[in-house]
Structure 1
Amino acid sequence: MILSIFAGAGIWLTLRSPSEPQALVANPAPLPSETGVEATTPLPPTPVPSGSGQDGRSTPQPSSKPRTVATEEARVLVTVPPAVEASAAAHPLGLSAKQVYGIHGRYQRELSKAQIALDQEAMGKLEHGLALEMSRASFKTARLEGTGVASGMWPNPKVWIPRHVDGTPDWFVAICYRPGIARVFDVMSSTPAGWRLVASAADTQSTPAQFPKIAADSDGYATSLPENAPGLLATPRQVAAAHLASMADAEPDPMFADGPWTSEVVEFWQQERARLEDAGWTLRLSYQQEGPVRALRTSDGGALVWYAARSVDARRAQYVGAKVSLKGSAAVRTANRAFTHSVSATYGRMYVAHVPPAGSTEPVRVLGEWSDVLESHGD
C-alpha cells in the first residue's frame, strides 16, 4: 500500500510495510493509510448511549494521497512566460520574473539541504507560520523514528505574480506539475525576515482535478482578491469556513464537489466515529482556520483560494474497556503507547480550492492539500 509523507514543499512516495497492523476502531487524520487508532483489547459488551459525549466535530483524511511524491534532485532550467518577463521591470516589487523564479529555486535547493540534515534551524530561513511549524514537526517525527525525509526539487515551476496591494505583504504562486506524480501549489510571501514559503498544497491523484487558468492582465500580472471579494459563488473567507465546518461536522456541504478532501473526508469520519462508539469511546474534532485567506482571479471570473487550519481530534473513553493506540506519525509522538482514558492528535492543514463566479452552477472544487501531525498525547 502506498503511504504519503510530506515535509516542506516536497512530496514523496514510500511503501508501507505489509505487517503494519490495520486500524480496528478509528484513524486520526491526516493519513489514514499510515495513521489510525487501533483497539488493542476486546471491545466492551455494553453499547455507548447514543450521542454520549459528542459534539459532532471532525478532522480526517480518507484514502486520498495527501502530499507525497517522488521528485528529481537535478536542477532544471525554467522558461519565463513572455508576457510576465516583458513587464517584470515595472512590477512594484522591483523584481523581475527571473528573480521571482530565483527566489523559489533557492527555496527548493535550501529545503532539500535542510531535509537531508533534518535541520530545524535552517527551516526558519525558508518558511513562516504554520508551514514552518508543520515542516519542523515532520523533522521531529523523523528523528524520533530514526528515519529521514526525502529531498529533491520539483522541476519546471511556473509562477504567477500578483500586483502590489497597499497594506498587504507581496506574494506569488509557483505551481509545478509532473504528470502521473503530482501538481504542487506553493505560495511565497515577503516577510520582515525575507521571502518565505507560507502555504502549500498538492494533488497526488493519478488523474488530478482540472486546473483552472489563472487570469493575467495586459502586463502579465495576476490579480489578488481580498478575503471578502464579491462576484464569486461565495467569498474566499466564506468558502474556507464552509469547507472546514463540513469536515469538522462530518456533514457534506452541497457547495463542494465530491472528492478526496471533501465528501471522502466526511464519509471517513462518519465511519470512524461509529467504530469508536462501538468501542466505548467518543470522538471530538475541530478545525480552526489559521492565517490569511489568499486568492487569485481565474480567467472564468472565479478564484483560486488558499487557506489553512489547525485541527484536533480527541478521543475519550466512556468506561473501562478497549485500549486505543495511534498509528503512523501520531504514534511516533506517543512512543506507540496504548491508552485507556484519552488520546488526541493535532494537525496542521493547508488547502487550495477553485471557487466559480457568482451565478455559476458549478460547485467549489478543492484541488489539493498538505497535512502533517504537530503533536499527539494521551493517558
Structure 2
Amino acid sequence: MAVFWLATRTPSGPSLAANPTPDPSDTGWEKAPSSPSPTPASSRSTPKSTPKPTGTGTKGGTDKSPRPESTPAKKPRAETRTTPPPADPPAGTRSPQLTAKEAYGIHGRYQRGLSVAQARKDQAAMAKLEHGLALEMTRAGFKTAEMQGTSLATGIWPNPQVWIPRHVEGVADWFVAVSHEPGVARIVDVMSSAPGGWRLVASAADTRATPARFPKIATDGEGYATSLPENATGLSATPRQIARAHLASLQNAEVDPRFDDGPWTSEAALFWQQERGRLEQADWRLTLSYRLEGPVRALRTSDGGALVWYGARSTELREAVREGAKVKLKGSAAVRTRNKSFAHSVSATYGRMYVTHVPPAGSNEPARVLGEWSDVLESHGD
C-alpha cells in the first residue's frame, strides 16, 4: 500500500504524517505497512477462512499453472486445529528424489503449522517452519501484532499445485507451491530441505482482484521441473542480474524499462520520486537502500524463460536537513515506533521477497514482477 506525506501545522511547527491511501476492497488480509507497494504487511499470511488443500494434481504439477479468475469464489469455511502437525522427517531419512505426494504433505504440514503459530503468535514454533529472512519476517510480524494488540489471520490456502525440481547431488532440494483463491490472492511459496526438516524460505503474493498472468513452468516427461543456477544464460538477463536490477531500480527510484509496469516496479519507483520531492519541500532528506539477501532460485518456464525468487532487506532513512517539520510514520512502522513523531531522523527496515518472470534471450517482452511479501523488521527515530 502506498503512503503519502502530508504537512500539517501545529503550535510548534509543521508535522509530516505518512497517511496510507484508501484500502482496496476488503479481502480479509492484513493492512500493508508504510511502503510503496499495495501488498499486505504479511503478504503470504494465511487467509482468515480457507479450506484444507485437496492434494490433487499431477506429479510435479505438469501443466497446472494457475490462471487468473474473473469470478470471485465464495468464502470457504475455516479449518480449526488446536495441536501442531507432526514434524517433517530429517532430510537424511528421505529418498533422494522428492515425490509429488511428499511435496503436498510437506506444504500441507507447513500451512497447518503456520496457522497454529499465527493464532498463538508462537515465535519459537516458527523455527521449525521457516528459515532465514522468511523466519525473521514472520517473527517481526508477530512482534508488531503483539505491540498493536491485534490477532493474526489463520487458515489454509486452498488447492495448491506443486512444481518439483529434480534432485541435484550436493544441493538442497526445494519445490514451489502455488495457491490461488479468486478475489483474495495468489500465493507462491518456496520450501527447501534442511538438516532439521523442510522449511519455507521464500514467498510472494499478488492480491489484485485479477492477478497478472502466471507463466507455465516447464516439466520433463516425468513431471519434474528444471532448476537453473543464478548465473544461468539463455535469458534476457541471468537470474541474479535481474534480481539486482530490480532492487537497483527501487533503491535509485528510477523506472527500469527492462521491467513491465506494475506495483512492484514502475509504480514503486515513481512513488519514491514523489516521496523524495515532498520531503525536500519540508527540508527533509530521503535515503533508500535495497540489498539482495539469500540465494536466488529459478525454474525454467515453457517459453524458454525462467521464474526467479529472491529476497532483500530494504531501509528507508528520512533525515531532517534543518529543524522545523516532524515526521510520524504510519502502518506497521508506526507501531514499532509507538506512533511517535520525530524531529531529526526516522528509519524503517523491511524484509522483502519477490517472484519475477524473466523472458528468454532475444525476446522483446519485459521481465514481470508477479508478487511480493514484505514485513517491517524494525523502525527507529529521534
TM-score (norm 1): 0.82
Q: Are the equivalent residues in 1 in contact too, given 2:61–2:162 (CA < 8 A)?
A: no
**Residue equivalent to 1:129:** 132
1:321 aligns with 2:296: no
Q: Are the equivalent residues in 2 in contact too, given 1:315–1:343 (CA < 8 A)?
A: yes
In structure 2, stretches of 5+ residues that fail to align are 15-33, 63-93
| Paired AA for residue 32 in structure 1 | A
1:156 aligns with 2:159: yes
- 1:25-174 matches, within 5 Å, as 31-32=1-2, 39=7, 41=9, 60-63=35-38, 67=43, 70-82=47-59, 93-174=96-177
1:304 aligns with 2:299: no
- Partners of 2:304 and 2:57 in 1: how far apart? 25
Taking structure 1 as reference, are residues 40 and 375 closer, same or farther at Cα in structure 2, changes over 3 Å only? farther
- Partners of 1:272 and 1:151 in 2: how far apart? 34
Shift of 1:37: 5.4
- Partners of 2:212 and 2:61 in 1: how far apart? 26
**How many pairs does the alignment contain?**
329
- Partners of 1:171 and 1:323 in 2: how far apart? 47
Q: Which has the higher contact order (CA 8 A, sep 6+)?
A: 1
- Partners of 1:375 and 1:176 in 2: how far apart? 29
CA deviations over 1:212-240 (Å, ceiling 9, x no partner): 00000011100000000000000000000
In structure 1, stretches of 5+ residues that fail to align are 1-30, 46-58, 86-90
**Residue equivalent to 2:201:** 198
- Partners of 1:82 and 1:324 in 2: how far apart? 53
TM-score (norm 2): 0.82
For 1:200, what is the secondary structure of its paired residue? Answer: strand
CA deviations over 1:317-374 (Å, ceiling 9, x no partner): 0111001011111011111100000000000000000000000000000000000000
| Paired AA for residue 2 in structure 2 | P
- Partners of 2:169 and 2:323 in 1: how far apart? 58
Shift of 1:71: 4.9
- Partners of 1:83 and 1:127 in 2: how far apart? 22
- Partners of 2:225 and 2:270 in 1: how far apart? 36
For 1:141, what is the secondary structure of its paired residue? Answer: helix
Q: Are the equivalent residues in 1 in contact too, given 2:118–2:153 (CA < 8 A)?
A: yes
* Same amino acid, percent of matched pairs: 65
Taking structure 1 as reference, are residues 122 and 184 closer, same or farther at Cα in structure 2, changes over 3 Å only? same
For 1:283, what is the secondary structure of its paired residue? Answer: strand
Q: Are the equivalent residues in 2 in contact too, given 1:40–1:324 (CA < 8 A)?
A: no
Q: Are the equivalent residues in 2 in contact too, given 1:184–1:203 (CA < 8 A)?
A: yes
| RMSD, matched Cα | 2.1
- Partners of 2:357 and 2:101 in 1: how far apart? 27
